A and B are shown apart, each in its own frame.
Chain A
Amino acid sequence: MYVAVKGGEKAIDAAHRLLADRRRGDRDVPALSLEQIAGQLGLAVDRVMAEGSLFDPELAALAVKQSRGDLIEAIFLLRAYRTTLSRFGYARPVDTAAMLIERRISATFKDLPGGQLLGSTFDYTHRLLDPALATDEAVDAPDHRAGDGAATPRVTDLLGDEGLIEPDAKGGAEPGDLTRISPEFPMDRDLRLQALARGDEGWLLALGYSTQRGYGRTHPFVGEIRIGEVEIEIDMPGLDFPVVAGRIRLTECQMVNQFKGSAKEPPQFTRGYGLVFGQSERKAMAMALVDRALRARDFGEDVVAPAQDEEFVIAHCDNVQATGFVEHLKLPHYVDFQAELQLVRAMRAEWASAPEDERREAAE
């Protein structure tokens, strides 16, 4: 006698117990601490904060641990927590010109005020696996440079002084917030940038790369990449100065792209912008390339390449949405499949009973 499959609840509980076991792994090996993850896998934690859209290294480290290192799963965990947090206020725009700079490079000028500062980078490392890292060998302390207090103006500001680059977007307008509205297309640049900042690094990387290979070419130069901490300032009722709520680390990329001019305006460079939580040059640069490509309409450029197609780029850049929908295909679909089975069987039966010449006609 047939008994319908039962016990979904028990199966789920057992699966989750097994997951916990696999996550912990060999009990003779010490468990990872959140400090270890945040301290030694810092770039993984940064990516989770950036795409999880919540700056909290400790929670991000927890998410990395809980997800067994599956970063998109970790991003999802952080997002699902973030969405339940109540909002106490809105910060002022961060001032990246006042950043405490850890790394700053420009590809457009050999030297410039504030100088080039390599900081901690994989650049120029030879990608040779280092056996020393397999053990806990002592690591030398880094050199420290005393800050000279000199300002580090942004390259785009230096270019802007001469009018060589389009001015930054006019401030003052209240930026939108994708997490509080249902987005509609066409979309303003503020919302696009928010979507890109939360967007999947791999998606942006591939799209940015495609613009370099001719699919919406923009002739980019890295005006500047800077990484460091900025202050988060909040206006409090009753105080006429902002209160510093804390500091966050950011990576900013100002991409300088080929010029535009018109009857009204002389030629000038155009901008692409990337800003990401934590340290992630790859993401910030890719974001800047895609931002510029998506501004095609603003500059009267033909929209011919995927990276210029706003609805295509923005609607598919969120990896939490993407992974959910792709992975939902593993949920049961047998009711719909049954409907398809019936139709295919009916069509095959009609085909089998039809004379040869009718079949040929139907196939044409």
Chain B
Amino acid sequence: MNTPSIAAYNFAYLDEQTKRMIRRAILKAIAIPGYQTPFASREMPMPYGWGTGGVQVTASIIGPDDVLKVIDQGADDTTNAVSIRKFFAKVANVAVTTRTGEATIVQTRHRIPEEPLSEGQILVYQVPIPEPLRFLEPRETETRTMHALEEYGLMHVKLYEDIARHGHIATTYDYPVKVEGRYVMDPSPTPKFDNPKMHMSKALQLFGAGREKRIYAVPPYSRVVSLDFDDHPFEPQTFDKPCAMCGAESVYLDEVILDDRGGRMFVCSDTDHCETRRAKGHRGELAGEIPEAAQ
């Protein structure tokens, strides 16, 4: 019987024709920053919604000399990140790392690493809903026309209604940006804390939405501006306290519930950043010594 076996798959899983199709879409996406380029997304061996778009992008660009880092929620050890990293180690036989600085390709879900990326690095985002206007207008036929006409009034109305109702823009992640003054783009569900990192980044940023069949890109050194109003300027999140483990300030923190009596602590969401700092001797209030896991 013709039982499928991993040995029968091409380097990086995808067949060459599929890679060519995705590569063409990537080049067009780079040429039209922020525009959602349609592509003939394939079924992947992990579910839609679990990173199939990012995986297809990574599989189409990766080569044997690459070093891959995969994060989910900023962490290398979250189950989905582990699963995707194992997939590439298996089908592409590439070196993997948890160190942001060592990676040539970083595939991410929901975070941008704290350590600024450098030139030559590629950040691949997993995107569930690539259309920033989707929750205002569910129809693709309508949103496509809005992008064509650069008709983004609806988005501003939505953000302004938030302010009227809540006193704040109530979008805390998936916060829309405008790329190079033309396309309004969904940065993927990263917290708005990370939006400023996209602006003039030295790295190439590629976005893959598998289920929705779209690829988009922000080239290096591109203007990425979070939408806002003169009287309500964009404000990324800030945290009152530093990381309880490494003492880092101005980083995004996870809230960890320690007990059922209201005990809470805040630690770096970016595990590599936290471990690197602790290895250098930085200490937060709850870290007396270097935990074993960081060694």
Q: Do chains A and B touch in the complex (CB under 8 A)?
A: yes
Stretch from B113-121, B147-155, B216-224, B254-262 contacting the other chain:
B254-262
Main secondary structure on B side of the interface with A: loop
- Complex interface bits, A30-53 against B, C-beta within 8 A gives 1, otherwise 0: 000010000000000000000000
Q: A86-B15, A182-B40, A347-B167 are in contact. Are A335 and B74 (CB under 8 A)?
A: yes
* A325–chain B nearest beta-carbon distance, Å: 4
Q: Which of A182, A315, A323 contacts B47 (CB 8 A)?
A: A323
CA–CA, A70 and B161, complex, Å: 44
B94 within 8 A of A: no
- State whether A362 touches B167 (Cβ < 8 A): yes
CA–CA, A191 and B94, complex, Å: 38
- State whether A8 touches B244 (Cβ < 8 A): no
A84 within 8 A of B: yes
Q: Which of A182, A323, A346 contacts B41 (CB 8 A)?
A: A182
A80 within 8 A of B: yes
B225 within 8 A of A: no
In the complex formed, the residue of B with least CB distance to A186 is B141
Q: Which of B49, B79, B110, B190 contacts A8 (CB 8 A)?
A: B79
- State whether A327 touches B49 (Cβ < 8 A): yes
B62 within 8 A of A: no
Q: Which of A34, A58, A62, A338 contacts B255 (CB 8 A)?
A: A338
Q: Which of B73, B86, B170, B287 contacts A9 (CB 8 A)?
A: B86
- State whether A336 touches B49 (Cβ < 8 A): no
- Complex interface bits, B271-288 against A, C-beta within 8 A gives 1, otherwise 0: 100100000000000111
- Complex interface bits, B245-260 against A, C-beta within 8 A gives 1, otherwise 0: 1000000111110100
- State whether B173 touches A339 (Cβ < 8 A): yes
> Which residues of A have CB within 8 Å of B286?
1-2
> Which residues of B have CB within 8 Å of A174?
none
CA–CA, A236 and B4, complex, Å: 27
Q: A180-B40, A182-B39, A327-B47 are in contact. Are A335 and B111 (CB under 8 A)?
A: yes
B32 within 8 A of A: no
- Complex interface bits, A1-38 against B, C-beta within 8 A gives 1, otherwise 0: 11111111101100000000000000000000010000
- Complex interface bits, B175-216 against A, C-beta within 8 A gives 1, otherwise 0: 000000000000001111100000000000000000101100
Main secondary structure on A side of the interface with B: helix
Number of residues on chain B facing chain A (CB within 8 A): 78
Q: A11-B79, A350-B167 are in contact. Are A6 and B40 (CB under 8 A)?
A: no
- State whether B77 touches A7 (Cβ < 8 A): yes
> Which residues of A have CB within 8 Å of B191?
335-336, 338-339
> Which residues of B have CB within 8 Å of A183?
213
CA–CA, A183 and B40, complex, Å: 8
A179 within 8 A of B: yes
> Which residues of A have CB within 8 Å of B44?
80, 83
In the complex formed, the residue of A with least CB distance to B44 is A80
A184 within 8 A of B: yes
CA–CA, A34 and B1, complex, Å: 11
- State whether B167 touches A81 (Cβ < 8 A): no
- State whether B77 touches A59 (Cβ < 8 A): no
Most interface-central of A11, A335, A350 (chain B CB within 10 A): A335
A212 within 8 A of B: no
* A188–chain B nearest beta-carbon distance, Å: 15
- State whether B168 touches A82 (Cβ < 8 A): no
- State whether B256 touches A2 (Cβ < 8 A): yes
* A186–chain B nearest beta-carbon distance, Å: 7
- State whether A1 touches B289 (Cβ < 8 A): yes
B65 within 8 A of A: no
CA–CA, A1 and B285, complex, Å: 10
CA–CA, A333 and B269, complex, Å: 12
> Which residues of A have CB within 8 Å of B288?
1
- State whether A328 touches B49 (Cβ < 8 A): yes
- State whether A83 touches B72 (Cβ < 8 A): no
- State whether B292 touches A3 (Cβ < 8 A): yes
Knowing that A324-B49, A328-B49, A332-B79 touch, tell me 19 more A-B residue pairs with CB under 8 angstroms.
A1-B287, A1-B288, A1-B289, A2-B287, A4-B271, A4-B291, A8-B77, A12-B79, A58-B1, A59-B2, A84-B14, A311-B141, A320-B43, A323-B48, A325-B49, A335-B173, A336-B110, A340-B173, A342-B237
What are some 27 contacts across the A-B interface (CB < 8 A)?
A: A1-B286, A1-B289, A2-B245, A3-B292, A4-B77, A4-B267, A7-B77, A8-B82, A12-B79, A34-B1, A79-B43, A80-B45, A81-B4, A83-B42, A84-B4, A179-B42, A180-B40, A182-B214, A320-B48, A323-B47, A324-B50, A325-B128, A332-B80, A333-B73, A336-B110, A339-B191, A343-B168
